[in-house]
Structure 1
Amino acid sequence: MSKRNFLWILFCFGALSGTISAQRTLSLEDARNLAIQNNKHLKMASEEEKVAYYEKKEAYLKYFPKFSASGMYIRNEKNLNLIGSSAIPGSITIPDLSGIGIPIPPGTQIPIPQELSDKIRSIGELDIKNIWVGSISMTQPLFMGGRIVAYNDIMKNAQELAKSKKDTELQDVIAELDASYWQIVSLAYKKDLAESYLRLLQKMHADVGSMESEGVATKADVLSVMVKENEADMTLTKVDNGLSLARMLFNQLCGLEIEEKVALADEKREMLISTEAPITPSIEEALLNRPEIKSLELATKIYKGKEKIERAEFLPELGLMAAYTWTNPNAFDGFQNTFGGMWNVGLKLSVPLNFMTSSAKLSAAKAQTRIQEYQLEDAKEKIELQINQSAFKLNEAHKRYISSEQNMEKANENLRYATLGFEEGVIPASDVLAAHTAWLSAHSEMIDSQIDVKLCNVYLNKALGRSLTNVKQ
């Protein structure tokens, strides 16, 4: 072998080793952490929690005064004239002035020149072609009928509600992840079981073929074994396809690439199932810890807060107002083209008179509160039923596990005796095939019962409102 070919083989072997070692192995805890980090619904719940926080912060600011600044500029075509053109006569009638020695006949009309008339009118002209107005104002609520206090209580409960919804979403994500995790473990066990079953049938096929050659087995025995072997091969294909699809779903829940190869820590590990009877669950624990109950209780408080807001419509509102205003032309100095201003302060009292409309809104708010209370009572009843169902299923799963364990031991013993009897020629091939089938069924039932106990524990803990992140499997 040339040096070049040897180096090429080393390179391919190194690349293959790197690919194999790159495959990650995840424990259930690792998978949960990945799902929590990458789940889109949890990210949306976190953003909703931020929204609730800032809305609560905005509600608190309603206790404080509001400041605003405004400005305006107007360009007018003409100036303002306080002396009308009709106010200046065209001429002056001279009265009798003979008494003071002025020899002008009374009634003489002396015309007023247009230039003088224009000068008189210009005295009353105000320059308003360019008007500038600016102001800074402040409004401080003094009494709003309890509306601001109720609104702050609503936003506080809304923030707690957002946290509770996030907890609910977290529990759902973990429960879904656990179900996917244990489904892969179950299918991995069943794949190993199907491969073992296929190897048994292949060995039996070879043994029956040899016995047929020796004349101690018939062609029918060989064909029966071949049929079972083909069925086992098809079963292995189905399990393998199901395992591939289950891994894709698991990767999607963990936020990984769909085609990424991930090994699970429990695939090759013996499952340890406690044979002790499950402890009777506590309904009080569930009603205290379930995030759904907390959410409905908070929703009820929110609607009670809305009742207070609608009740505030019957009460007067009192507010303090203050402002400083600038104008140009200066209205406080003969409308000169300079800026001038003044401050003002006052109280605003608003007394509602629309009692019929407010009464209807208050009645509607009370009805919505009662709806939430009914939903809360209904949820408590359904949760109690769910807990009892979960407890019954867990008890049933434990009994099924104990029974399947006993059946598996008997199936193993039955297969051993059938195999020995077949090799000694005292048991027909059909009985051995039946023993193989019983062995496969018992082992498959054992795997299902183990996974069932695992998942029933998850669902019971979830029903009791326990944090699944703290529950070890």
Structure 2
Amino acid sequence: MKKQIFLFLLLVSSGYVSAQSLFTLDSCRNMAMRNNKQLQMAKERVVAAGYNKKAAVTNYLPSIDFTGVYLYNQKNISLLSEDQLLPVGSQDANGGFTLRPDQLLVGEDGKPVMVNGQYVPKDWAYIPKEAFEYDIRNTFVGAVSVTQPLFMGGKIRAYNQITQFAEKLAESQQNTAMKDLIFQVDETYWQVVSLVAKKKMAEKYVELLKNLNNDVQVMIQEGVATQSDGLSVAVKLNEAEVTLVKVDDGLSLSKMLLAQMCGLPIDLSYSLADENTGPQTIPSTGMVDMEQVYAHRSELHSLQFASKIYEKQQQIAASEMYPQIALTGSYLFSNPSSFKGFQNRFDGMFNVGVMVKVPLLHWGENIYKVKAAKAGTRIARLELAEAKEKIELQVNQAAFKVKEAARKMEMTEKNMAKAEENLRNAQLGFDEGVLTTTNVLEAQTAWLAAESERIDARIDMRLCEVYLSKALGTFENK
């Protein structure tokens, strides 16, 4: 019960209750734009492009990074393989090592002892192996570095311009998605209007046949009509009822589609404001300024921005052929440190420098990249020129279809007036006994065909206006 009350309040707040379920074309457009997932994704692409543009600006600024490493080593470093004995001597006048007479080992004969032609020192200094062993089992190394680009061959500026154009491209694509959505909503809207009119026509046709069937049955009972006449009318009535069911099914499906586009419950019962409208005013199809059309078509804007992006990509490819210069600085630290002897504590130092990268030999790779980028730019320009030609053709075709639809609508209105007059005369003649059921059935069939053609002509006129607006790119101005 609470769920039903909540659903009712939701429908009331949304304006979907039966008393308010009358939608205009503009309201359907607005609901569809709020609900459409593709349009929402296009908006998110614009947001993403904006963040990419902001990220590109940061390439002008210095980058600061921290790098840290911890190592556990299995063994320590030892400069000696075993304990050592060093002779104790003196320094001579030239700064060299020498042994004074009192520092020499004297034999029993009172003379210095010599081994292999070398005097043997009297005293030795003992150096244990552990004195030259360094603890590196736990090693920490770190660096804080700063890099400031000075000259990158124009790559940073070109990339920033690419992100700016990419944001505009995303906005243009969003506009295109919105126009495509409006076009689809308009088509479905007028399809529903057409089926509503055809349903009314089918219901009226069934009513005419039912009245005729009743009259024929009375005439059969009176003996002034045959069973064959009754069967002919009954067959026509059955066909009309089948047609009515088909039209009603098609209308239900079309309404479901429109409701889904607008974000409404697909089983919602609603009506459209244009269901009972008559012939519309014929839109003007005079001289068209193609430059204004080009300015309104978001597809061309997208291609123009794409062409500019290719041009900037060409500059990025060319930048690889120029030297790249950057200012660098860092603070390096480690534990153990060896700046003041080998110590198990953190210590470090600053350094600054300039990094220069000059391309010397890449076997033509960069030249090929530039040529490929130029080819991409030419392709984008050709696509833009081709799109303009197609748009001009679309405009001319849409204007021609509007004129044809206007002539068709005018002829069907006249034909419908004659068909209605013919039906009245046939019905009057049948009532007076002058005409047969065959004559009435023929008049009703002619009326059905004329009414169907008139409905199609009116909807074609609406759709042709939609096609013309799409070709002119004026959906957002309507």
The reply to whether TM is greater than 0.5 is yes
Superposition pairs for residues 264-283 of structure 1, below 5 Å?
A: 264-267=272-275, 269-275=276-282, 278-283=285-290
* Residues 1:245 and 2:245 are matched in the alignment: no
Cα distance in 2 for residues equivalent to 1:388 and 1:422: 50
Cα distance in 1 for residues equivalent to 2:267 and 2:122: 108
Name the structure 2 match of 1:255. Answer: 263
Cα distance in 1 for residues equivalent to 2:28 and 2:289: 29
* Structure 2: runs of 5+ lacking an equivalent: 1-7, 90-97, 115-119
1:276–1:252 distance in 2 versus 1, CA, 3 Å: closer
Bigger share in helix? 1
Secondary structure of the 1:256 match is coil
1:156–1:99 distance in 2 versus 1, CA, 3 Å: closer
State the TM-score, normalizing by the size of structure 2: 0.87
1:346–1:30 distance in 2 versus 1, CA, 3 Å: same
Secondary structure of the 1:140 match is strand
Which of 427, 434, 439 is the matching residue for 1:419? 427
Name the structure 2 match of 1:106. Answer: 112
Structure 1: which amino acid aligns with 2:471? Answer: A
Name the structure 2 match of 1:155. Answer: 163
1:142–1:434 distance in 2 versus 1, CA, 3 Å: same
* Residues 1:117 and 2:126 are matched in the alignment: yes
Number of aligned residue pairs: 450
Name the structure 2 match of 1:226. Answer: 234
Name the structure 2 match of 1:70. Answer: 67
Secondary structure of the 1:236 match is helix
8 Å CA contact retained: 1:97, 1:106: no
1:410–1:123 distance in 2 versus 1, CA, 3 Å: same
State the TM-score, normalizing by the size of structure 1: 0.88
8 Å CA contact retained: 2:69, 2:140: yes
Secondary structure of the 2:240 match is helix
Name the structure 2 match of 1:331. Answer: 338
Which of 297, 303, 313 is the matching residue for 1:296? 303
Deviations 1:21-56 (A, max 9, x none): 477332222211121111121122122222211111
Name the structure 1 match of 2:417. Answer: 409
* Structure 1: runs of 5+ lacking an equivalent: 1-13
Which of 449, 456, 461 is the matching residue for 1:453? 461
1:36–1:201 distance in 2 versus 1, CA, 3 Å: same
Secondary structure of the 1:314 match is coil
Superposition pairs for residues 307-346 of structure 1, below 5 Å?
A: 307-346=314-353
1:106–1:436 distance in 2 versus 1, CA, 3 Å: same
8 Å CA contact retained: 2:85, 2:127: no
Deviations 1:230-260 (A, max 9, x none): 1111111110111111112212222333333
Secondary structure of the 1:57 match is helix
Which of 136, 141, 146 is the matching residue for 1:128? 136
Cα drift, residue 102 of structure 1: 11
Identical residues among aligned pairs (%) = 45
1:243–1:339 distance in 2 versus 1, CA, 3 Å: same
Deviations 1:300-350 (A, max 9, x none): 111111110111111100000011122223322222223222111110111
Superposition pairs for residues 201-216 of structure 1, below 5 Å?
A: 201-216=209-224
Structure 1: which amino acid aligns with 2:164? Answer: K
Name the structure 2 match of 1:395. Answer: 403
Superposition pairs for residues 31-50 of structure 1, below 5 Å?
A: 31-50=28-47
Name the structure 2 match of 1:8. Answer: none
Structure 2: which amino acid aligns with 1:174? Answer: I
Alignment RMSD: 2.9
1:29–1:20 distance in 2 versus 1, CA, 3 Å: closer
Cα distance in 1 for residues equivalent to 2:44 and 2:311: 26
8 Å CA contact retained: 1:23, 1:263: no
Name the structure 2 match of 1:57. Answer: 54
